[in-house]
């Protein structure tokens, strides 16, 4: 039967409420009781057949953006069916609701906009942010994913069009880890855009002004955080796709004050560390024996480098030595101590040697065991680089993590072919299997989806007061321990995305145990953490 909420809503209104609508799954008795007779075709179809129909519709479309739009329309009509479809085949639908398709959707946001979703907070409303947030109908918001749209994936400043990122991320919170969708709120902080093409586009939906900087920006973000804390005191805030100049200081400002994390810094670091833990099983070596060279010197690179360093410390290494094993290379060359253009967050990883201007020369000089690309510049892991890595590593770690696919530092085929099949590979965007010398390699995708939904589920279940750095190390180990020997034999260093829910709930259990152990939970610890997590996971089904 329908829920109490359904009984207050009938007829046409009920069919247009995405959280309550069941479409053709409403029974004949329900149709009579709630004034739906004549508003639906007479056939009653269970949710399984509804999923099959939607899958058939989407598979017959020939363009991923059209598939993205079809899924968005479904989410706006019938939320339960939307998540049932996503969770029926996550490996197929995750690339459609998030990377790489979401990048194009954000670029074309003003041209494909159909129905509003989430909250837009323009800086012109400063002083009234709590009032605007209060317009959201759900009063028990537990997760906010927020962006200011300045650094969307590797695509740059997309302004208000960045809303596609919080919407997509929160869909994955639910589809991949069972976080109840009604508790999630996507938000854009609109402080303008420096993208001239958008400013001149008559269909652009954001503020037509240059980006606000400095004290005015900081005050605006402060007001946002205060409004969230006042309205949703148990809410966790995830910062997403902020430019480095804002991402690093925002995280530093709030990480010890509220429940918050930055997925580009900490989630990316967690999934990279998970890949490294699995890679070490292939190379038969220890974490403390590794050296990494990062292509990119921004917040993602330093976030990964710092988490690797902290994990090395847990294995007994001094923090100074651990950081010295993680070097950065940016647009101006190797980050060395003598450079005068370094940001404070880069300095812990500056090496004491002469400046090196080309990446391949840095590889030859530093002889890293792994290279990690977070540059958003494609093709910089070229043949010279991969061959150099293979020359002094039996199993070189090659992680081109930049998104979307067009920004990847190399392809899986390039990494495997140029290393003669010896590379341990993972990328930020998906690549198809590769045949080299009669052997098939299945490239892993170092997707943050292995980390942030599970983190969200653990925080939701435990009502954690903080998200700490060590929680991401716990998450990384929990991801890596699920990679089977069979997975490793094919080159796969992450669990298959086809079983992402199972993997995420396992990771959530490990994080929740840590939260309880460290006294960060706001609920009492259960006797059985596994059951505790599973009982709270959302399952897309119509009420009986």
Active site residues: 98, 169
Burial 415-427 (b: 16+ CB within 10 A, else e): bbbbbebbbbbbb
- Size of the chain, expressed as the number of residues it contains: 544
What residues contact residue 471 under an 8 Å CB cut-off, 6+ apart? Answer: 455, 458, 511, 514, 515
How many other CB atoms sit within 10 Å of the CB of residue 157?
Answer: 20
- Which structure tokens are listed for 41? 């075709």
Q: For residue 355, give the DSSP letter.
A: -
Report CA-CA distances (Å) from 192 to 98, 149, 168, 203, 211: 24, 9, 22, 15, 4
Q: Given the DSSP bridges, would you call strands 434-436 and 439-441 parallel, antiparallel or unpaired?
A: antiparallel
Interatomic CA distance for residues 50 and 47, integer angstroms: 5
3-class DSSP state for residue 391?
A: helix
User: Is residue 230 within 8 Å of residue 238, measured between CB atoms?
Assistant: no
Interatomic CA distance for residues 338 and 335, integer angstroms: 9
Interatomic CA distance for residues 223 and 189, integer angstroms: 11
- Which structure tokens are listed for 461? 């279940």
User: Is residue 204 within 8 Å of residue 157, measured between CB atoms?
Assistant: no
Interatomic CA distance for residues 401 and 217, integer angstroms: 30
Interatomic CA distance for residues 334 and 111, integer angstroms: 41
The values of phi and psi at residue 197, to 5°, are -60, -40
User: Is residue 176 within 8 Å of residue 135, measured between CB atoms?
Assistant: no
Report CA-CA distances (Å) from 286 to 230, 272, 378, 482: 46, 16, 30, 18
What residues contact residue 404 under an 8 Å CB cut-off, 6+ apart? Answer: 99, 100, 103, 104, 153, 154, 155, 429
Start-to-end Cα distance in the chain: 5
Which of 136, 140, 119 is closest to 463 using CA atoms?
A: 140
What residues contact residue 479 under an 8 Å CB cut-off, 6+ apart? Answer: 270, 271, 274, 277, 278, 450, 451, 494, 495, 503, 507
């Amino acid at each position: 039967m329908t829920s109490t909420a359904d009984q207050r809503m009938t007829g046409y209104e009920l069919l247009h409420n995405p959280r309550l609508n069941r479409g053709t799954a409403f029974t004949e008795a329900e149709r009579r009781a709630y004034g739906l007779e004549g508003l639906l075709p007479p056939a009653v179809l269970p949710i399984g057949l509804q999923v099959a129909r939607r899958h058939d519709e989407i598979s017959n479309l020939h363009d991923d953006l059209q598939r993205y739009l079809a899924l968005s329309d479904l989410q706006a009509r019938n939320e339960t069916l939307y998540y049932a479809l996503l969770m029926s085949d996550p490996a197929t639908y995750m690339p459609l609701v998030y990377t790489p398709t979401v990048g194009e959707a954000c670029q074309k946001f003003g041209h494909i906009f159909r129905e509003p979703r989430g909250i837009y907070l323009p800086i012109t409303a400063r002083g009234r942010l709590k009032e605007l947030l209060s317009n959201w109908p759900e009063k028990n918001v537990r997760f906010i994913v927020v962006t200011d749209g300045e650094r969307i994936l590797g695509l740059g400043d997309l302004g208000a069009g960045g809303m596609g990122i919080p919407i997509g991320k929160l869909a994955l919170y639910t589809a991949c880890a069972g976080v109840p969708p009604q508790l999630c709120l996507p938000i854009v902080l609109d402080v303008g855009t420096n993208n001239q093409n958008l400013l001149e586009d008559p269909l652009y939906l954001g503020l037509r002004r240059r980006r606000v900087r400095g004290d005015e920006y900081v005050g605006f973000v402060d007001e946002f955080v205060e409004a969230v804390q006042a309205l949703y005191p148990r809410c966790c805030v995830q910062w997403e796709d902020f430019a480095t100049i804002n991402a690093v200081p925002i995280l530093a400002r709030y990480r010890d004050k509220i429940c918050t994390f930055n997925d580009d810094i900490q989630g990316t670091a967690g999934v990279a560390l998970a890949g490294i833990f699995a890679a070490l099983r292939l190379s038969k070596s220890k974490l403390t024996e590794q050296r990494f060279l990062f292509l990119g010197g921004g917040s993602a690179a330093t976030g990964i480098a710092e988490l690797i360093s902290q994990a090395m410390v847990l294995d007994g290494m001094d923090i100074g030595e651990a950081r010295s094993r993680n070097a950065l290379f940016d647009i101006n060359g190797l980050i060395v101590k003598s450079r005068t253009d370094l940001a404070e967050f880069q300095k812990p990883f500056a090496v004491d040697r002469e400046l090196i201007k080309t990446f391949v020369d840095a590889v030859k000089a530093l002889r890293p065991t792994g290279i990690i690309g977070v540059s958003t510049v494609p093709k910089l892991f070229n043949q010279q680089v991969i061959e150099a890595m293979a020359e002094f590593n039996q199993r070189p770690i090659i992680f081109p993590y930049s998104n979307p696919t067009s920004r990847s530092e190399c392809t899986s085929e390039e990494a495997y072919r140029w290393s003669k099949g010896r590379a341990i590979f993972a990328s930020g965007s998906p690549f198809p299997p590769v045949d080299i010398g009669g052997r098939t390699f299945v490239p892993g995708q170092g997707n943050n989806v292995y980390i942030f939904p599970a983190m969200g589920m653990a925080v939701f279940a435990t009502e954690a007061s903080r998200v700490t750095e060590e929680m991401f190390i716990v998450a990384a180990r929990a991801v890596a321990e699920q990679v089977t020997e069979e997975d490793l034999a094919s080159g796969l260093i992450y669990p298959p995305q086809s079983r992402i829910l199972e993997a995420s709930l396992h990771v959530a259990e490990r994080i929740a145990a840590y939260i309880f152990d460290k006294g960060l939970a706001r609920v009492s610890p259960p006797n059985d953490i596994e059951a505790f997590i599973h009982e709270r996971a959302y399952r897309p089904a119509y009420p009986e």
